[in-house]
Structure 1
Amino acid sequence: MEPFESLYGRRCRSPIGWFDAFEVRPWGTDLLRESLDKVKLIQDRLLMAQSKQKSYANRKVCDLEIMVGERVLLNVSPMKGVMRFEKKGKLSPRYIGPFELVERIGEVAYQLALPPWLSVLLDQNLTFDEEPITSFYRQIRKQRSKEIASVKVQWKHPPVEEATWETE
């Protein structure tokens, strides 16, 4: 008895040991027909698995039609280490609102009526200039051979809690 067979009670079916030594192997057209049958079986099972996965994915997808005048929540992408809406980290909100839908621009693009504290006027190249208002604190960080002076700056648009440290 082989060691595998004595341990597990069955023959080893590794790619090397697929055929028994005394088994009559088909040759010629029989081998070709058997191979084609196995390929067809594999293709059928792959197609069945793909259709099952597709049905799982299609259950979650639904066409959502939003009409003008309805109120929706706005998804806010979290950024690591940034205070957003007076909360930082895990507890920062994922959605804010609700806001009224003003206009439908495209299939998935909408214009919302945002409050003035949230609206930012953008240039033609979709950028905006942030202006500093005041500086609160000043600190000097010492590195090996130099000292770096930093100031905490209050910007025009975000609230006081979102002030940042900038080099002097």
Structure 2
Amino acid sequence: MSVRNVIHPTTGVGRAIRPKKLSPKFIGSYQILRKIGPVAYELSLPPQLSNLHPVFHVSQLRKYIADPYHILKLEDIRLCQDRTLEMQPVRVEDSNTKYYKGKAVRLVKVAWDEKTGDSTWEVEDAMKDLYPHLFEPQS
């Protein structure tokens, strides 16, 4: 059987992954075990994804295009029981002040993933409470 990239996290009931603000397009390349119907496939999922149902609609799959220089590395993805993915911030890239109803709100641009460059604007106070190590001076 062929190998496909799987799990489009924002489609279907009971989403596979629901990170707070970041949503990877696809995760992993998994082998197709069998075709269930005209639009459904059963996949061979690793143990880390054992809490997911192994049958996926074709809209959640993309064909893997072989590249002789592409070496597949299986990432160790740990999903919580409620099928969420805990992301850890990498660094603070920028800061800005916005005004909301006459009050100044400090925002910081937080990088979440080195490989993809995913980043979001977050409230500085909330990020300082959750991740104080990001705001410590570098020596």
Q: TM-score, normalised by structure 2?
A: 0.42
Q: Which has the larger radius of gyration?
A: 1
Q: TM-score, normalised by structure 1?
A: 0.36
More helix by share: 1
Greater relative contact order (CA < 8 Å, ≥ 6 in sequence) = 2
More strand by share: 2
